[in-house]
């Protein structure tokens, strides 16, 4: 395992590599077509390099544990608003998720539906490309249209365009208080209708999920105390056609949303896990065609976690609708047989492959992971 201590060392290691490299942050998000290669770890590129609460900006090396960043932000009553999922609940891996990994996989949580995904909070990147060149893009300001936005391109590129060494993020204030409305016993269609109704209201909903395991459809409100009280009341009325909402707050509320964020309901050894992204109103059609053993809907129905029998290819079961399915948990054999990422239409596949070969001409960075 290669463990560079600085960006320069990492660049040198990539430059002089003569075989495939398998990039590792915390090693907790091990999905994708299995990569054969020598592990190159970012764990020693760790530490917050700049934090300005009054400017809502934090800059950290890519190997910094997400927990370290969240703890530092909490001291100033701030947070990563995109609330990145912790994959350990469903993938069961040891290790500490790093911010670089969260960004490289564009990992977000329930609040994505309101404030945006990881990629929407990423202000700047430094990375080492497949030739060992050190590249930067963006910066540390929110408004930046200077040249092409490679920041967005790096988010969700799973290391195939370059190894992140430093990221700049926009942070947000933590909210004074929060509450969750819980509706009971709705089926998938009713749940999506309820969530749509909530999200389409002026009451600023920051989470909308459906958890069949508990029979709950849940809607989150956050903000200042009086504001939350007001919006809770208004939303209860607004959603009355779907039933009488139970209201919770405090620790029970926090735990509920953490479990939604981490798809906790799908943890457990058996079965494969798929992650489907569709427009919310298509959510029920996905559920009805796949009939998963267990599922969880987030993003108002636009994000569906499903548990299926091992080796199931859900793509062949889902109707021809816009969106994509990603295989998150399966045996190595299944992961070699079924593409992790939704195959792209030909013209887009050509573009994606060409981009990868520009940034990584020798094909040494997580080769094949996204194929």
Residues 4-63 that bind other proteins (CB under 8 A): 52-57
The residue from 58, 73, 199, 221 that contacts other proteins (CB under 8 A) is 199
The residue length of the chain stands at 371
- Nearer CB in complex with other proteins: 155/330: 155
C-alpha angle 58/68/151, rounded to 5°? Answer: 40
The residue from 152, 214, 258, 334 that contacts other proteins (CB under 8 A) is 152
Pairing state of beta strands 303-308 and 21-24? unpaired
Contacts of 86 (CB under 8 A, 6+ apart): 28, 66, 97, 261, 262
The residue from 34, 67, 68, 76 that contacts other proteins (CB under 8 A) is 76
Q: Please spell the DSSP secondary structure of 23-65, one letter per residue.
A: EESSS----SSPPPSEEEE-TTS--EEEEEGGGTEEEEETTSB
Window 236 to 275, contacts with other proteins (CB under 8 A): none
The residue from 6, 71, 77, 184 that contacts other proteins (CB under 8 A) is 77
- Nearer CB in complex with other proteins: 92/353: 353
- Nearer CB in complex with other proteins: 59/65: 59
- The stretch near other proteins (CB under 8 A) out of 41-49, 92-100, 262-270, 343-351 is 343-351
Q: Is 341 in the site for other proteins (CB under 8 A)?
A: yes
Window 300 to 339, contacts with other proteins (CB under 8 A): 302-303, 322-324, 326
**Smallest separation, CB 52 to other proteins (Å):** 6
Angle (deg, nearest 10), helices 283-290 and 188-199: 160
Contact letters (x/-) for other proteins, 128-147, by CB under 8 A? Answer: -x---xxxxx-xxxxxxxxx
How many angstroms separate the Cα of 22 from the Cα of each of 12, 79, 84, 136?
16, 30, 22, 22
Q: Is 176 in the site for other proteins (CB under 8 A)?
A: yes
Cα–Cα distance between 154 and 129 in angstroms, integer?
A: 11
Cα–Cα distance between 261 and 28 in angstroms, integer?
A: 15
Q: Is 226 in the site for other proteins (CB under 8 A)?
A: yes
Q: Is 106 in the site for other proteins (CB under 8 A)?
A: yes
């Amino acid at each position: 395992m290669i463990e560079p201590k600085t960006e320069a060392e990492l660049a040198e290691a990539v430059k002089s590599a003569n075989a495939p490299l398998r990039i590792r942050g915390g090693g907790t998000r091990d999905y994708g077509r299995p990569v054969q290669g020598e592990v190159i770890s970012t764990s020693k590129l760790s530490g917050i390099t700049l934090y300005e609460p009054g400017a809502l900006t934090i800059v950290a090396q890519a190997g910094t544990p997400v927990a370290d960043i969240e703890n530092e932000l909490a001291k100033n009553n701030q947070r990563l608003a995109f609330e990145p999922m912790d994959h350990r609940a469903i993938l069961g891996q040891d290790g500490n998720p790093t911010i670089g990994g969260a960004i490289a996989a564009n990992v977000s949580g329930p609040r994505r539906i309101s404030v945006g995904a990881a990629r929407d909070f990423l202000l700047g990147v430094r990375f080492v490309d497949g030739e060992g060149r050190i590249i930067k893009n963006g910066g540390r300001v929110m408004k930046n249209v200077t040249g092409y936005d490679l920041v967005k391109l790096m988010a969700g590129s799973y290391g195939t365009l370059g190894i992140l060494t430093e990221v700049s993020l926009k942070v947000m204030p933590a909210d004074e208080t929060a509450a969750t409305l819980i509706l009971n016993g709705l089926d998938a269609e009713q749940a999506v209708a309820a969530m749509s109704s909530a999200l389409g209201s002026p009451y600023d909903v920051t989470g909308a999920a459906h958890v069949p395991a508990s029979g709950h459809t849940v809607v989150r409100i956050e903000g200042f105390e009086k504001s939350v009280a007001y919006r809770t009341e208004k939303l209860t009325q607004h959603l009355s056609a779907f039933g009488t909402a139970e209201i919770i707050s405090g620790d029970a509320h926090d735990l509920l949303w953490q479990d939604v964020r981490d798809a906790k309901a799908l943890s457990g050894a058996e079965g494969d896990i798929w992650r489907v992204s569709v427009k919310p109103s298509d959510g029920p059609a996905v559920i009805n065609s796949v009939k998963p053993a267990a599922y969880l809907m987030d993003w108002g129905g636009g994000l569906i976690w499903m548990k299926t029998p091992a080796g199931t290819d859900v793509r062949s079961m889902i109707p021809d609708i816009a969106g994509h399915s990603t295989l998150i948990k399966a045996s190595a054999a299944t992961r070699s047989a079924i593409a992790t990422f939704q195959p792209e239409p030909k013209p887009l596949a050509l573009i994606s492959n060409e981009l990868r070969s520009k940034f990584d001409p020798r094909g040494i960075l997580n080769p094949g992971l996204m194929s």
